[in-house]
Structures are given as C-alpha cells and as structure tokens.
C-alpha cells in the first residue's frame, strides 16, 4: 500500500481527530469535515480545539514518530494579552516550569521573539477581544517538544496569556498560502 501525506490549515474549533461515536463528542467538529481524506488517515501530533494552523496528516503511523520527536522544530505565532516584555521573552527562551500530568515540568530552551508586524491570518470565527481592552502582542515561539497545551501554559506562566495560537511550521513544512480549512497532499514528509 502506498501511503499518503497531507498538510492542513486547521481552523479554530476543530478537533485534531476524525469522527468517533462517543456521545460527548457528538456536537464537535472533526477533520473529516474539511477534506475527503483516505481511510486510515491520522493526525501527526495535535492542535487543541482552540488552536489553529499547520497540521500534518498521514496514513503511515511510522512517519509520526520522527515528526513528534524532539528532532523536529514546531513554530507558532502567538497573540498574547499585553505588551510582552524582554524579561518575559528571556524566561520563555530559558525554559519555564509548567504543570504537565499533575507534575511540574521545566520546558526545554526555545526560541521566543516579538514579531515586528502583525501576521496576516484570516479572521477567526470566535472573535478575540478588542484592542480597547488593552494591548496585545504577536510573538514567535519555536519549540521541539509538545506537551499538552504547552505554549499556552508557557505564555501564561510569564504573565502574558495566549489569546490566539497559530502553528506556522513543522520542520521544513510551512503553511505557505494554504487557506483556512484547506488541505494539500504532500509528496514527502520531513
């Protein structure tokens, strides 16, 4: 069987999985609603329901290990509440303590920097609060790990909670010009 690979611009509000019959998930949105993926397609890593951006999918489970390993960088553009300080960025870069599975976990050093320009993403379905409620800042965070809601926990712990999170890159694969909700088949994954 020849395996197939895809990249997808996951919209806000979708789960990074395919439909299940679980009663608690009946009113949720799933990836299969966005594209006619072949049977056996699975997401490589996840983005939580509130996060957007690049999601890789494959029919080959072996590919998943390489991408979710610490050898592969994942870059996120993050809109945070407030005017982030250099001190907060330095803390993010050095690693911060977050909770993970009821334990304290120190994140690995990462790249964190303030963006000079606001990224041009499509308007989100659920509005983000207005500027009149205070300043917001866009930052880039590049990590090579992926604990549950890690980036959100990291920005909150340094005092700048995440308002919007968009993954733009996994390894050398980027969102490019994908439209929100659009999928594109790839010849090769990382």
Cα distance from N-terminal residue to C-terminal residue, the chain: 20
Percent helix / strand / coil, the chain, rounded to 5:
20, 35, 50
Q: Alpha-carbon dihedral of residues 115, 13, 149, 122, nearest 10 degrees? A: -10
Please state, rounded to an integer, the average pLDDT across all residues of the chain: 89
Question: Could you give the residue numbers annotated as active site?
Answer: 48
pLDDT in tens, 119-129: 999 888 777 76
pLDDT in tens, 37-51: 999 999 988 899 999
Q: What stretch(es) of the chain map to CATH 3.30.70.1560?
A: 74-170
Q: What is the pLDDT of residue 131?
A: 66
Range scoring the smallest mean pLDDT among 4-13, 108-117, 131-140, 173-182: 131-140
In angstroms, rounded to a whole number, what is the distance separating the alpha carbons of residues 73 and 185? 21
Contact 119, 138 (CB under 8 A): yes
Q: What stretch(es) of the chain map to CATH 3.30.70.580?
A: 5-69+172-186
List alpha helices for the chain, DSSP H: 61-68, 86-94, 150-157
Task: Note the CATH number of domain 74-170.
Answer: 3.30.70.1560
Domain 5-69+172-186 bears CATH identifier 3.40.30.10: no
């Amino acid at each position: 069987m020849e395996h197939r690979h895809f990249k997808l611009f996951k919209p806000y509000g979708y789960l990074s999985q395919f439909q299940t019959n679980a009663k608690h998930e009946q009113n949720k949105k799933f990836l299969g609603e966005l594209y006619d993926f072949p049977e056996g397609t699975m997401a490589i890593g996840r983005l939580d329901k509130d996060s957007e951006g690049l999601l890789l999918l494959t029919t080959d489970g072996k590919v998943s290990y390489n991408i979710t390993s610490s050898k592969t960088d994942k870059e996120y553009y993050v809109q945070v509440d407030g005017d982030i300080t250099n001190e907060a960025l330095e803390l993010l870069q050095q690693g911060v303590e977050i909770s993970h599975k009821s334990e304290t976990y120190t994140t690995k050093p990462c790249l964190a920097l303030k963006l000079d320009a606001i990224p041009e993403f499509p308007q989100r379905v659920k509005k983000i609060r207005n500027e009149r409620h205070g300043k917001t800042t866009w930052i880039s965070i590049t990590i090579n790990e992926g604990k549950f809601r890690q980036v959100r926990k990291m920005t909150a712990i340094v005092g700048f909670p995440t308002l919007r999170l968009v993954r733009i890159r996994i390894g050398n694969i980027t969102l490019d010009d994908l439209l929100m909700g659009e999928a594109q088949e790839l010849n090769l994954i990382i």
